[in-house]
């Protein structure tokens, strides 16, 4: 299962069915202008703070970068896009003016992390991390949406997750957590989150993960037809969700595909699969089939090896070289060969050459030496010397044949 992130956990709590459309079926969503706008501003700030040496980029450089990397998707028309673009310019100008004098190169910009929370993989990105002491850091996340209340940073699960990740992976103590509202240039800051907040988030991550696993298994066994919709999610998730079911569905792109909206849109058609995903899905299926066969083969080989050892031992005890089952016969042949080790290779060859047997071992070396060792006419002194340099390795091969195939 793919690692969970703050936003995928939030989406699952909002509506498991929506999560399934988005992360498993990978149904494309309509581009949203607010995502494009937020990303364009985040990218410009990443450029501003991403310098390796001082001085920081001037406002002209930041605005040039912003303009060159502006994302155009999701705006309803060019007028709306132009208004947002201008609003973004104003935000960046104001931000630059306010922060240029205290500019310091951050400890990390866009810090990507991969974390394990009680065995569950979690991933994410922190906008900015500043070092505020030898072993202390400050975490900051930029927001471009609506204004938020003063206690937003104190209550933010996203900041709890960042605190967990940074403390665990960087080995630093978090001194403060900030949500920075860019349109109003307002930071709201919190002390480090408490252990009980961290524990509650751990529990939520584990609960979401086990719920997803349970639903995926039920879907595979055909015990359910689809993931629970917002109206069917667990009561625990309903309590945790920040918006009502109606609001969740109102903004959801998947309504025409959703079983909860069949009364309004008719029977949902199968989710459209983009071409690239079809190819990816085909490759994934082949890999899984191959992996499964590989595992089965390994298991069978191990079982066969065990049986072979038991048969060889039993035949050996009885002094048999051949025995029969109802449908198969087994014949054991004992082989021996000599291994000399790389450290003795030169001495072995010198000994053979010195004894006048060099022409017998030219060619594929290991096989020729084995042949020579099996030769009963080999002089005793050469055999002795070679035997002292090597060690005898015995092996047994078991040939299995159907009785009807016996000649
Ligand atoms: S339409 Fe509503 S119930 Fe269906 S996936 Fe979207 S949010 Fe969930």
The span from the CA of 312 to the CA of 397, in Å, is: 9
Angle (CA) 70-72-74 rounded to 5° is 140
Query: For residue 248, which atom of ligand 1 is closest to its CA?
Result: 7
35 Cβ below 6 A of ligand 1: no
The DSSP-derived string for 92-117 is HHHHHHHHSTT----SEEEEEEEEEE
DSSP state for residue 21 in the 8-state scheme: I
Instruction: State how far the alpha carbon of 130 is from the alpha carbons of 48, 94, 173, in Å.
Output: 14, 21, 12
Mutation to probe ligand 1, out of 10, 11, 13, 15 (largest number of atoms < 8 A from CB): 15
Distance of CA 255 from the midpoint of ligand 1 (Å): 6
Determine whether the shortest distance from the Cβ of 178 to ligand 1 is under 6 A.
Answer: no
The minimum-distance atom of ligand 1 relative to the CA of 231 is 3
Residue 255, ligand 1, Cβ within 6 A: yes
- For residue 15 and ligand 1, the question of a CB distance below 6 A is answered with yes
Regarding the beta carbon of 11 and ligand 1, being less than 6 Å apart is answered: no
The answer to whether the beta carbons of residues 251 and 29 sit under 8 Å apart is: no
For residue 141, give the H/E element and its range: strand 136-143
Burial of 205 (0-12, 13-18, 19+ CB in 10 A): buried
22/18 Cα distance (integer angstroms): 6
Which residues are bridge partners to 147 per DSSP?
none
Please name the helix (run of DSSP H) or strand (run of DSSP E) that holds residue 396, with its range, or none: strand 391-402
Output the CA 248–ligand 1 centroid distance in Å.
7
CB of 315 closer than 6 angstroms to any ligand 1 atom:
no
Residue 18 beta carbon below 6 angstroms from any ligand 1 atom = yes
pTM: 0.67
Q: From the CB of 254, is ligand 1 less than 6 Å away?
A: yes
Instruction: Assess whether the C-beta atom of 204 lies below 6 angstroms from ligand 1.
Output: no
Pocket-testing residue among 252, 253, 259, 265, ligand 1, by greatest number of atoms within 8 A of Cβ: 252
The whole-number pLDDT of residue 406 equals 39
- Which of 228, 249, 253 is the best mutation target for the ligand 1 pocket, counting ligand atoms within 8 Å of the beta carbon and taking the most? 249
Q: Tens-of-pLDDT digits for all 407 residues of the chain?
A: 889 999 999 999 999 999 999 999 999 888 999 999 999 999 999 999 999 899 999 999 999 999 999 999 999 999 999 999 999 999 999 999 999 999 999 999 999 999 999 999 999 999 999 999 889 999 999 999 999 999 999 999 999 999 999 999 999 999 999 999 999 999 999 999 999 999 999 999 999 999 999 999 999 999 999 999 999 988 888 888 888 888 899 989 999 999 999 888 877 666 555 555 566 666 666 677 777 777 777 778 887 888 888 898 898 888 888 888 877 888 888 888 888 887 887 888 888 888 888 777 765 567 778 888 888 888 888 888 888 888 888 888 777 676 654 33
Q: What is the DSSP letter of 184?
A: T
The pLDDT score that the predictor gives to residue 277 is: 59
Residue 259 C-alpha to ligand 1 middle, in angstroms? Answer: 8
3-state SS, residue 58 = coil
Report which protein residue has its CA nearest ligand 1's atom 2: 249
CA separation for the pair 244, 230 (Å, rounded): 9
Ligand 1 centroid, distance to 206 Cα (angstroms): 23
Those residues whose C-beta lies under 8 Å from the C-beta of residue 23, and which sit 6 or more positions away, are: 2, 8, 11
3-state SS, one letter per residue, for 264-320? HHCCCCCCCCCHHHHHHHHHHHHHHHHHHHHHHHHHHHHHHHHHHHHHHHHHHHHCC
- Residue with the nearest Cα to atom 7 of ligand 1? 249
Instruction: Establish how many alpha carbons lie within 13 A of residue 185's alpha carbon, considering only the half-sphere containing its beta carbon.
Output: 12
- The closest-lying atom of ligand 1 relative to the alpha carbon of residue 254 is 6
Give the span between the Cα atoms of 340 and 347, in whole angstroms. Answer: 10
Terminal-to-terminal C-alpha distance of the chain? 53
Q: Which two tokens stand for residue 307?
A: 């049986």
Predicted pLDDT of residue 384: 85
pLDDT the model gives residue 321: 86
């Amino acid at each position: 299962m793919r690692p969970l992130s703050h936003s995928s956990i939030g989406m699952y709590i909002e509506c498991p069915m929506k999560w399934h459309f988005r992360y498993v079926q990978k149904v494309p969503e309509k581009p949203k202008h607010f995502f494009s706008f937020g990303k364009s501003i985040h990218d410009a700030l990443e450029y501003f703070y991403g310098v390796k040496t001082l001085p920081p980029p001037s406002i002209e450089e930041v605005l040039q970068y912003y303009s060159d990397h502006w994302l155009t998707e999701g705006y309803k028309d060019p007028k709306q896009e132009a208004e947002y673009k201008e609003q973004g310019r104003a935000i960046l100008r104001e931000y630059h003016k306010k922060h240029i004098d205290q500019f310091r190169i951050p400890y990390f910009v866009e810090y990507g992390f991969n974390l394990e929370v009680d065995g569950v993989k979690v991933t994410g990105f922190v906008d900015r991390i500043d070092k505020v002491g030898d072993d202390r850091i400050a975490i900051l996340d930029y927001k471009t949406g609506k204004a938020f209340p003063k206690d937003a940073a104190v209550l933010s699960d996203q900041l709890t997750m960042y605190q967990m990740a940074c403390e665990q992976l960087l080995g630093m103590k978090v001194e403060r957590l900030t949500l920075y509202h860019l349109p109003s240039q307002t930071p709201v800051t919190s002390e480090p989150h408490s252990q009980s907040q961290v524990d509650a988030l751990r529990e939520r991550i584990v609960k979401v993960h086990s719920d997803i696993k349970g639903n995926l298994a039920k879907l595979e066994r055909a015990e359910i037809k689809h993931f629970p919709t917002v109206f069917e999610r667990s009561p625990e998730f309903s309590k945790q969700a920040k918006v009502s079911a109606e609001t969740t569905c109102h903004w959801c792109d998947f309504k025409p595909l959703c079983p909860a909206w069949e009364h309004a849109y008719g029977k949902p058609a199968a989710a459209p699969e983009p071409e690239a995903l079809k190819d990816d899905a085909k490759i994934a299926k082949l890999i899984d089939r191959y992996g499964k066969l590989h595992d089965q083969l390994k298991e069978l080989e191990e079982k066969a090896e065990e049986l072979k050892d038991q048969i060889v031992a039993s035949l050996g005890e009885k002094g048999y070289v051949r025995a029969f089952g109802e449908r198969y016969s087994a014949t054991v042949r004992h082989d021996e060969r000599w291994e000399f080790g790389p450290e003795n290779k030169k001495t072995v060859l010198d000994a053979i050459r010195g004894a006048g047997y060099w022409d017998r071992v030219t060619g594929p070396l290991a096989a020729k030496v084995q042949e020579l060792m099996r030769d009963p006419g080999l002089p005793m002194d050469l055999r002795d010397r070679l035997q002292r340099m090597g060690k005898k390795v015995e092996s047994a091969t078991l040939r299995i044949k159907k009785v009807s195939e016996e000649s």
